[in-house]
Every structure is written in C-alpha cells, then in structure tokens.
Amino acid sequence: MPVLDTLIVGADVIDGTGDPARRCDVGIRGDRIAYLGVDDAVEAAHTVDAHAMIVTPGLIDPHSHSDWSVLGNRSALSTIYQGVTTEVVGNCGVTYAPLGLDDVEAAQNALQALGFEGVVDWRSFGELLDRVHSGGTAQNLVWFVGHTAIRQAARSNAVRHGRSERKERISLLEEAMDAGAIGLSTGLEYGAGRFADMAEIAELARVAGRRDGMYSSHIRNRDAGLEQAVDEFFDIVHQGRVRAQLSHLNVRHDSGAHSGAWERAAQRVVDERSRDTDVLADMTPYPQGIGLAAGLLPGWLAERPAAEAARLLQDPEVRDQVRRDGDRYWRFVHRGQWDRVRLGVSATHPEWEGLSFPEIAERHGRDEWDCLFDVLAAAGSDLGSVQLLGLLFTEDHLAEAIAHDHFLLGVDAFSACRRGPLSTRTRHPLFYYGHTHYLAHHVSAGTLTFEAAIHKMTGMVADHFGIRDRGYVRDGHVADVVVFDPGVLSRTDTWAMPPGDYADAARHVWVNGVPVIADARHTGRLAGRLLR
C-alpha cells in the first residue's frame, strides 16, 4: 500500500451509520479516506495518536444560516471548532442573492452588521457563490436559494424593466439552480414570503422538481395553525414532486398550539415517508432560538416597504394599532412574556444586543413594545435584519423531537467568532456549542445514544440531501473526519458561553483531507468546497 498522508491510530470509530463504535485506525491520502484497519505495518507521513478518543465523520448541519456570516467569518470559527465540516445554508427563504437594485443597500447593511467589510457588488445567485467560494471557506457549503430573495428581486426587476414578475421569479430560480443551488427554501412566517400564496410557491417547486431539486420550508405557522401549515407544505411538495425538508418542526411554548398538534405533525412526516415522499424534519438543540423582529408586525404594516414601515412606527397611533393587531409569530409576547426575548442583532442599537426586553425597558424608560418599535423605526430600510433571541421551547419538547427517528439535528444559527461585529451579536452558547450540546447534554441526558446522535448529524443528513461520498467513515469517501475527546465532552458545560475561546472537544478536524483543526487549534486552512 502506498504511504498515507495521515494515519489516525488508537481510536474507536463511530462511522455515521448508527452502528456501535469499533476499534479501527483511519488513514487519509489526498482528499479521501484510504485505509480502515489495525495493521501495524501501515506507513504514513504523519501519525495522530487518538487513543481513548472517538473518530466520526465530519458533522453536517442540515439547517444553517452561515451564508449570512461567511463573508465576515471565512474561517467558520465557532462551527469548525465543533467538528462541523459541512453546512446546508440558504434556509428560511432568506439569502442575500438574487438581489434587485432596490435591495442592495439593505443587504449591504445587514451583512456589514455580521462582519462583512466588502461591497455588495453581486446581483445574481451565481455571483454570490463566486464571491463566497473564490475567497475560500473552512467548511463545505450546500446552498438553497431563498424564495424571499427571489420574490423581492423579481418585483424590483419587473418594476424597473417592465418584466413579468411571475416569469422573473421562475428565471431567477432557474439561474440559481444552474449556478449550484440544490433547491428552493421558503420562510412563510415573515418578510415577503408571508404574502406569497400556495400557487406561487408550488409553481416554483415544480421548477425545482423538474431539476431533481429540493424544497425546504420554514412553514407558515407553528402555533394555532400548525396543522394547516403542514398540509400546505405537503401540498407544495406533492405538486412540485420534490424531495423535501420540513425546517425546525417544533411548537413554541405557550403560543396557542392545539393539544397534540405537534405529535400529529410529526406523524404526518412518518406517514408521508411510508408513501414514498422523500421528506425529513429537523430540530434545534436549545430551548432558545433566533427570530426576525419584523415577524411580530401585522400584515397591513409588514407588507409595506421596510423604510415606510419603519417611518410609520414613529407614529404613536400606528404603535397602538400594532399592539392590538400584532398577535402572531412569537405569540407569547402578546401574553406579556417579554422576559423570554432578547435583542440579538441591531445595527442601530448595539448597546442593547444581548439584553432582555425588560432590561432594555428599564434602561430606556419605556415599555417593551415601545423599545421594540424604537429599534425597528431606527433600522429604516434595514428593518428586516433586526434579530431576536427567544426562549421558545420546553426541554421535554426538545427531547421528543431530537429523539424522533425522522428528525435531523440542526442548529438554526450561523458561524460566529470572538472578534469584530459577530462577537457582540452572538452572546449565547447556541452559536459556539450548539452542535456540541447534542453530544454533551442530550446524549448524557439519555435523549439518544452517541451513535444515534452522530448518525442524525452525519450519514442521515448526507443521504437525505444527496451529499455524495460524505457523512460516513468509509474507504473511498471524502476525508471529512473529526477526532473527539470524550473526556472533554463530559466536562464541557454547554449551557454557558465558552470561557474566552471556542469549543475544544473536537481535537482534530479534516475537511477534504486537509487539517483545519489540529490539537484543538485552527490551522488557518480554508479547505471547504461548494457542494453542488
């Protein structure tokens, strides 16, 4: 056998199938796994002693928003340190391409708030992919194109150039898929997506389906209308004949969901799969999650251009009407539970980021609603980029979904770093420990075994999204490989922010055969690829 580049010796291998761990050495040559065995005669240019450690495939996040932060964080610091080698991005309808001229300034400001120091000079989805991947990324990226972006760009182009909005939407989706998007994502609870009817989305799903694409959806409702929203999702999937991902299928605590609604929704996924619908759902690791502040606004205000809506929010009478009409999205807010909400991202109020709204109200001398209105009014045309962090779910609900056979394990966040704008906007362990939390907290709590967790974070994801030759520790597969130290995992407090650095249970991480984390330190290598 030719000499290997790297030989990992002494570890137990959890290969991504869900099978029990087995003692096995792992060899890497070039960008592939080239050896699995226990032959002492095997030679390698570099040997990694991994005794008492665990080798797994690189983790694959099935629901990430790292496309928002990648241009300001190409090293993917918070996620690569956790052993994440691939992220499925472009979710919930929100991508920063395609862009019409009317949306360039808002995109520029939103990305700048997340660490991007360049100029938004792209317009097409393909141009965005070129910008991201020509500069290198630490992790591999699989891209959806966002329906909200398509809808806004189509409207802008139609007005400026006298084109058909409907034909423009189809053209923009086709261009994006030609460029490398694996399909279409929607966000139907906020932004432009909430004003699209099913016929519009189904037409685009058919376009994706004809190209063997996927449909991923943040569905229209996850409280009192959950079951109707799930029905709409599957109607679109069937009309489009698409493979599908039901994003973060969960129910927010005390928001009006009917008893048993989530259980019926989860069973619907099971039933659909039994009828050969290629669909899975996903769940998040913490009770907390990210939300868009504009989602709290009633339709009569949210449907207006962002700058106009922000200007109207300066009017006390408009504010009073919003208080009366805005019972939607995070409906617990309308029950006075503001202690469950923190300000996540606000370019105009960075001093409030990370604070709960009762804390903000006390400092600002106004009530919580007025504080929210002040943030949104100040945002102007960037109103849609204001993010919240909410205490959304109960631990029991999390555990039930995480353990479900048809749920993948995502984080629904974005890669962060401990410096620059991202450091002040990611003050929750979700960003730095979200993936580790599954392996440290949920495994130790008995929600699922380590092997099952790895399967739901690697091989099961790769199979569903059609990510070829990844997700498993197999001879000939691409060498996205992680060495975890179970001792570090067992003593890591994933409920707290890392003490000044990043997660360190993933001692070694290879991406496409290149060492990106070595001895728990980033090598600076940008070995990631665009996976089409």
Helical H runs in 37-185?
77-80, 104-113, 125-134, 147-161, 165-179
Instruction: Confirm if 86 and 60 have CB atoms less than 8 A apart.
Output: yes
The whole-number pLDDT of residue 1 equals 72
The whole-number pLDDT of residue 39 equals 87
**How far is residue 218's CA from residue 214's CA, in Å, rounded to a whole number?**
14
The whole-number pLDDT of residue 161 equals 87
Which residues of the chain fall below pLDDT 50?
A: none
pTM of the model: 0.97
264, two tokens:
């019926």
Spell out the domain ranges in the chain: 4-57+476-522, 59-287+392-465, 291-391
CATH of domain 59-287+392-465: 3.20.20.140
Written as one letter, the residue type at 279 is: V
Instruction: Confirm if 279 and 269 have CB atoms less than 8 A apart.
Output: yes
Written as one letter, the residue type at 60 is: I
CATH of domain 4-57+476-522: 2.30.40.10
Instruction: Confirm if 269 and 247 have CB atoms less than 8 A apart.
Output: no
